[in-house]
Amino acid sequence: MRRISLVLAIAIAFVCSSTTAASALSLHATDWQSSIISIVPTTDAVSIDVLNGGEALRLTAKPGHTVLILGYRNEPYLRITADGEVQANLKSPTWWSNKTGTGSGSIPDSADPAAEPEWSTIGSNGSVAWHDHRIHAMPGVTTGTDWTVLVSVDDMPLVIRGQLTKLPSHGPVLELLLAIVVAAMIVILGFRRAWTICLVSVLFGAALAIVVALGGWAATPSGFTHPWLPLLASVLAGALAVGSVLLRNASRRLRVTTMVGALAALAWWVALNFSALTAVFVPNTFAAGVVRFVVGLGLGIVVGVAVVIVVSGGFTDLNEHDQAVVDTGNGTASV
């Protein structure tokens, strides 16, 4: 029991100390929304949309049209050529400022808004997404803030106007209720078949976590850092859970340790995605409600399995017909 408690303590400490990598161009769950109010003059040559509530702008140009996107100092920042090549101006201070989400990126001395552009190819599909500090929540910004981005299409000035607003956070009542129900079911069923119930629960939770993590990966636009930590945590949980199955002939200690490792990895994934429970916008190909459901389900699985591990004394019944050991008050008996 002391060994199991030690492993659980290490797992919890690992999860609590883990944080999402602070990447320069990562998308995050948010309650802020940027909405495009007008594009003047209207044109069919390009399409412009906001990603993840306003953490990025995406512009796609039709073949044969050239586009120039201006930076914070009205300098050439990005451009799309007539053949769809996407280029960035390495002399643009905006290019370097946008290396971080807060605009605190180091700007080299060579960056000069008045200098002749130094174009570098960063894509070839006629579409570019970029993190723009003008349209997302920066320190001190207030709800209802208007913003403007200037673009040139075939040398014709194009003005994109929008507004940034703060939306009420999502109340995760249903998701927390789901977690409580799932945890209670695992604990109740775990009194009869502790190992099997916990193993199936962790396998199911890890599988859903992997699917959602892949959705977050697929939703990341080119040039932005993919959310590799959630994918790593989910895959690790799945691999260790499968390992628990494959180690059915191994010692109980090794099987339990592997199971606790899988649970810790799943808890890590839940911790990394915990902000999705209250955020309005979640960067994922699945709807925010789907992501919240899986996170709530994963939370319930983590709590329920952890309780069963502790109550069952670390699956002391593992080699005895896969039944939990329960203290009846008159001694220890298997049920």
Split at pLDDT 50, 70, 90, the class of 316 is: low
pLDDT at 334: 40
What confidence score (pLDDT) does residue 46 get? 95
Q: Taking residues 83-101, report their average pLDDT.
A: 87
Average pLDDT over all residues of the chain: 85
What is the band of 328 on the pLDDT scale with cuts at 50, 70, 90? very low
Q: Grade residue 6 by pLDDT with cuts at 50, 70 and 90.
A: very low
Structure tokens at 54: 């306003």
The per-residue pLDDT for 240 is 95
Contact between 49 and 58 (Cβ < 8 Å): yes
State how far the Cα of 270 lies from the Cα of 252, in Å rounded to an integer.
27
- Quickly state the pLDDT bin for 89 (edges 50, 70, 90): very high
Give the integer Cα–Cα distance in Å for 94 and 113: 9
H/E segment holding residue 86: strand 86-89
Instruction: Express each pLDDT in 20-62 by its tens digit.
Output: 333 357 888 999 999 999 999 999 999 999 999 888 899 999 9
Q: What are the structural domain ranges in the chain?
A: 2-26+168-334, 32-166
CA angle 81, 104, 273 (to 5 degrees): 90
**Most distant pair of Cα atoms in the chain: their distance:** 87
